[in-house]
Structure 1
Amino acid sequence: MDPHRLAYVPLATYPEPVPDETVLTVLDYAAVLGARVHVTAFAVDIPPVYTPLAGRIINIPDMIRATEEDSRQHCRRLTNLAGERAKSLAVPITCSIQKAVPGQMDDIAIVKSRYFDISLLAWSKELAVQDLAQSIVFGSGRPSILLPARKAPSEIKHVAIAWDESRVAARALADSVQLLGHGVRVTVLTVHDEKPLSDHGVAASLAAFLKLRGTEAGAENLSLNGRSVSFALQARAIEIDADLLVMGAYGHSRIRDFVLGGATTGVFSDLRLPVLLSH
């Protein structure tokens, strides 16, 4: 692993903080990747609210101050937690706390993430945490690894790559090759009954290409059998003891909304193992 790899770790604290156990997992994974880490914890900065009810029925200014202080306390706690874990793992780390008004945190994190080789994104079922991760995956132009709270491997030995010959799948493949280097075993996974493919052997074709690069690689065709594509890919990756699943992140804009593809939606809503996403 490259000892000079730089990883960005954004942490949301509003309206709910990212779970402690997931933060610890992120630092453990940074150690596996041999990365230097920069953690940004976001403290909410709520603009003043002016209403005829303020100070009468509901003390809105006091509620805002209490919410902001709660967020700042979570920032201090999470950065201390990350710093202590990094120290125990001998992972170089810097931490900062960034104030941001609601709605601007994602934009700030996107710009920051572009200065790093990869983003390590803590995952939870909290929508604000998922929204932050989605923004970085689709806005950074850099690869991201989405991480659930689970034990990190001592090293990445086996990677599953979801392959459908698409542009985003090719981007994810290229990012994973640059990230993982040599000595990693690869299993190419293709779902053959989810979308039209050029032929039935696309997984084997990619495996053959990887073998030309000197990579130990195999191929599998999967059937959905009534399952979602995200469940099928993650389930098989877990069954074959893959340390990481590599996927292209699908999404497109519909006027003001960003609509995710089915596989990408499933990963963000029900993450079961570390997933590298590229867009």
Structure 2
Amino acid sequence: MEAILMKVMASLSLATYPDANSAKIAANAVAVVKKIDAALHAVAVDVDIPDVSNALSNYLLDLPYKIQEAEATSHKRGKALLEAINQEAARAGVTLSTQELAAPPALMGDVAAKHSRYFDVCLVGWAPDNQTARMLAEAILFGSGRPTLLLPDSTDVGVLGHVVIAWDGSRVAARAVADARAFLERASTITVLTVTDEKPLPGQGIGQRLALGLRTRGLAAEAVSIQAGDSSIGTALQEHALKIGGNLLVMGGYGHSRVRDFVLGGATEGILADLRLPVLLSH
């Protein structure tokens, strides 16, 4: 019997309120799923604000109207983003399904994370001042059990031909390499990047060992060691990745959630604070 190859399914969670993703996410998300020959499921996460108004707040603040206005704005933005993705997917010949979910402001991340568990990889659009996108990304990274690919608004996601792996020999880094398989299989170049002066590493030559393992699997991989020096680890990784022409950075996402308040590791925080290229984070 002929083996059936499973098609990868990617989920895209769209921020709508109070900050919405920019329309740039449409082209970027479609470019990524086309690259890995995946199907795309795009979800607009709309805000649903519980009505806690009373007669006095109605009189003083006109609360019901403000709630209605916020929900209408969120819904309208979600519809516009889904429409842009629809057009982009049709142009690129990408299989697309869409959905709208509604959640109270404090639970939007949780709802997106639970929804994301049914897919292989999760996509989130990213802009430095978009707190809603950051909240969705953190919730999905720590709550979905799936790899989370951050797509910065500042760049056009192109070929993703040169994949850079941030490697420290840890469990989360190993998980990230496994989760990045679809990207690694299609990469023309893979660089295993180890920062040697940031923390004690579990041995000598760990980058070379991973690169050798990837070459044994038939992939074009080489290992490079760098020093972060005065730069933060997140900055050093991204700067070196860009310097060598990397299109995608793959790394473990450190941190844990304390009731929707995320405590992040240094490298993860550095990446989220200043994202310069597409980054696949795995927890």
Alignment TM class, shorter chain as reference:
over 0.9
Paired-residue identity, %: 42
1:206 paired residue number = 210
1:17 paired residue number = 20
Is 1:54–2:90 an aligned residue pair? no
Alpha-carbon contact 1:43-1:75 (below 8 Å) kept: yes
Is 1:218–2:231 an aligned residue pair? no
Tell me how large the CA RMSD over aligned residues is. 1.8
Is 1:98–2:131 an aligned residue pair? no
Instruction: Select between 68-77 and 46-55 the one with higher mean Cα deviation.
Output: 46-55
* Inter-partner Cα distance in structure 2 for 1:61 and 1:186: 54
Alpha-carbon contact 1:3-1:35 (below 8 Å) kept: no
1:272 paired residue number = 276
Q: SS in structure 2 opposite 1:56? A: helix
Structure 1 spans left out of the alignment, 5+ residues? none
Question: Residue type of the partner of 2:156?
Answer: K
* TM-superposed deviation, 1:182: 5.3
* TM-superposed deviation, 1:61: 1.0
Q: How many residues align?
A: 277
Q: SS in structure 2 opposite 1:116? A: coil
- 5 Å-filtered alignment, 1:43-82, equals 43-51=46-54, 53-82=56-85
Alpha-carbon contact 2:36-2:186 (below 8 Å) kept: no
* Inter-partner Cα distance in structure 1 for 2:260 and 2:65: 34
The one-character-per-residue Cα deviations of 1:163-199 (angstroms, maximum 9, x if unpaired) are: 0010000101111235432554211101100000133
Is 1:245–2:222 an aligned residue pair? no
Of residues 191, 198, 201, the one that matches 1:194 is 198
* Inter-partner Cα distance in structure 2 for 1:255 and 1:105: 13
* TM-score normalised by structure 1 residue count: 0.93
Is 1:115–2:130 an aligned residue pair? no
Q: SS in structure 2 opposite 1:231? A: helix
Alpha-carbon contact 2:19-2:131 (below 8 Å) kept: no
* TM-superposed deviation, 1:258: 2.8
* TM-score normalised by structure 2 residue count: 0.92
The one-character-per-residue Cα deviations of 1:191-243 (angstroms, maximum 9, x if unpaired) are: 10000013342212211222222221111111112000000001111111112
Residue 272 to residue 111, structure 1, CA distance change in 2 (3 Å): same
2:148 paired residue number = 144
Give 4+ residue runs of structure 1 displaced > 4 Å after superposition: 253-256
Residue 64 to residue 182, structure 1, CA distance change in 2 (3 Å): closer
* Inter-partner Cα distance in structure 2 for 1:118 and 1:91: 16
